Structures are given as structure tokens and as C-alpha cells.
Amino acid sequence: MLWLGLVASASADPELYQESREAQRSQAELQASIGAADDEARAMLEELRELERAERRLTRENAELAPRNERLVETLDRREAALDTLAETREALPVLKERLIERLEQWVDGDMPFLREERLARVASLRSQGDELSSAERWERIVSAWRAELDYGREVDAWRGYLGEGDSRREVDYLRLGRVGFYYLTPDGRAGRVWRADSGSWAPLEEAERREVRNGLRIARDRRSPELLTLPISQPVEQSREDDA
């Protein structure tokens, strides 16, 4: 009733009526502003809550990732150290290869003189083919050459070859018992010798010893089971083991 009276009164007074209309419009604008501000506040509040949820999620994920990151850092450190070691090893490889070849050559020079030309040629090939092969291939050749030398210490071998030079050159039958004994017989079996490592020369064999060498030649050629041979040795067993070590 009060509102109607106000309207009626305003209708009676044009100026008052205009003021009433402006007051109503201001009230509506204020209400709209309040509503917009409320909507904005609610949106900001929801955004804040979403940020808080994201923060909690990131905190949880960081806590879970921290140990993994530490392990990753440790792994990277180890790999970096391994790469440093690998680089140092690669720098040292050429020197190491040359030392192994030199030691092999010295070994052949100081060993019993069996298959000397073949063995020295094998060593020489390690140097002559060095530029043509990859590093891995050259390593394989060096290891193979060393393995061949080590195998000599575990083999019983027999072959026909030559002894001496020039007019004294003659054909003989060689017998090698690992690196312990190295012998030869003439084809007729009437002469034979044993290599003496201590003197670096051949020493004559007695008739009974030559028979033992003939028996050893048959064993090696026929691949028969080893038998006990009574023969003088070329070098002490201990020295032979040191050479093969």
C-alpha cells in the first residue's frame, strides 16, 4: 500500500515521479552489480580451489619423483665416470697393443726354436696389417696369436722339416712335447738330438733315447693315447709353466 501511495503521489507530481524512476533504475543497476560481483567472486574462489588442488597434486608428484630423480642423477654420474674411463682406456689401447706384440715377439725369440719362421711371421703380420684393420679386429688378431702360443704348451706335435742352412741343410723329423721337450731324428733314425734351453743348442741323444723319440713320433702322428716317454727335457717343467702363464 505504501508503494502504491508513493507511485500515486509521484504520478501527481511529475518531478517526484522522475526521481522515483531514477531511484528504481539505480536500485536495479546496484542489484545487477552486486550479482555480477558475486558471480566473479565465486569464479575466483573456484579457481583458487583448483590451484590449491593442483599444488597438492604437484607436491605429491614431486615427493614421488624425488627418489627416482636421485637415482637418475646417480646413474648419469656413473655413466659419465664410465665414459671418462673409456676415453682413458682408448687412449691407452695403442700403447698396450704394441706392448703385447713386443712381448709376444720376445717370447718367440727366447723360446725353443720350433716353427720359428711361422711364429715370427704371425707376429710380423700383427704390425703390417695394423692400419688396415679396425681396433676390434686388431685386438682379435693379437688375442688369437697369444692363444696359439699358449696352445703350443699343451700339444704334442710331430712334423718333417729342415735343419741347418746352406750345404749343411738337411731334412729331419721333429717331435715337440709341449714346451718341455723338443727333439729331432734323421729319417734313418741313426742320429738325433734334444734342444737344451739353458745352452741354446742341440745335444746328442743316446740310442735308447732315439727309440723313445721314434715312439713319440708315432704317438703324435697316429694321434694315439699318450704313453710314458723316458726322455731328457729341453727346459725345466717350472720354466715351461712360467712361459705358458
Decide if 57 is inside a domain: no
Task: Please check whether residues 103 and 116 belong to one and the same domain.
Answer: yes
Decide if 101 is inside a domain: yes
pLDDT digit string (tens) for 134-166?
878 888 999 999 999 999 988 899 999 999 888
Task: Please check whether residues 245 and 188 belong to one and the same domain.
Answer: yes
Task: Please check whether residues 165 and 226 belong to one and the same domain.
Answer: yes
Sign for the pseudo-dihedral over CA of 27, 30, 36, 40: negative
Task: Please check whether residues 166 and 226 belong to one and the same domain.
Answer: yes
Task: Please check whether residues 146 and 160 belong to one and the same domain.
Answer: no
Domain-terminating residue out of 105, 121, 152? 152
Domain-terminating residue out of 152, 181, 209? 152
Residue predicted with more confidence, 92 or 169: 169
Res 55: pLDDT: 72
| C-alpha distances in Å from residue 223, one per residue of 19, 115, 161, 217, 220 | 133, 20, 19, 10, 5
Give CA–CA dist 178/150, Å, rounded: 10
| C-alpha distances in Å from residue 231, one per residue of 95, 112, 189 | 42, 16, 16
Residue 132, domain extent: 71-152
Sign for the pseudo-dihedral over CA of 152, 184, 222, 214: negative
Task: Please check whether residues 227 and 239 belong to one and the same domain.
Answer: yes
Res 208: pLDDT: 95
pLDDT digit string (tens) for 62-118?
777 678 767 867 776 787 776 667 666 677 778 888 899 999 999 999 899 999 999
Sign for the pseudo-dihedral over CA of 14, 18, 19, 24: positive
Cβ-defined contacts of 111-114 (< 8 Å, 24+) = 111/179, 111/243, 112/176, 112/179, 112/182, 112/195, 112/197, 112/234, 112/235, 113/182, 113/195, 114/152, 114/157, 114/174, 114/176, 114/182
Decide if 60 is inside a domain: no
Decide if 125 is inside a domain: yes
Task: Please check whether residues 144 and 167 belong to one and the same domain.
Answer: no
Res 3: pLDDT: 42
Q: Residue 4 carries which side chain, given as an amino acid letter? A: L
Residue 158 Ramachandran class (φ > 0 left, ψ -120 to 50 alpha, else beta): beta
Q: Is the pTM of this model over 0.85?
A: no
pLDDT digit string (tens) for 186-211?
999 999 999 999 999 999 999 999 99
235: confidence class by pLDDT, cuts 50, 70, 90: confident
pLDDT higher than 50, residue 221: yes
Decide if 225 is inside a domain: yes
pLDDT digit string (tens) for 34-72?
666 667 767 777 777 777 787 777 677 677 767 876 786
pLDDT higher than 70, residue 122: yes
Cβ neighbours of 118 (radius 10 Å): 10
Task: Please check whether residues 218 and 133 belong to one and the same domain.
Answer: no
Decide if 201 is inside a domain: yes
Element (H, E) at 223: none
Decide if 45 is inside a domain: no
Domain total of the chain: 3
pLDDT higher than 90, residue 185: yes
Give CA–CA dist 17/24, Å, rounded: 11
Task: Please check whether residues 123 and 175 belong to one and the same domain.
Answer: no
Give CA–CA dist 210/228, Å, rounded: 14
Task: Please check whether residues 123 and 168 belong to one and the same domain.
Answer: no
213: confidence class by pLDDT, cuts 50, 70, 90: very high
**Sole residue written with cell 575466483:** 44
Give CA–CA dist 102/95, Å, rounded: 11
pLDDT higher than 60, residue 9: no
Domain-terminating residue out of 119, 152, 185? 152
Decide if 28 is inside a domain: yes
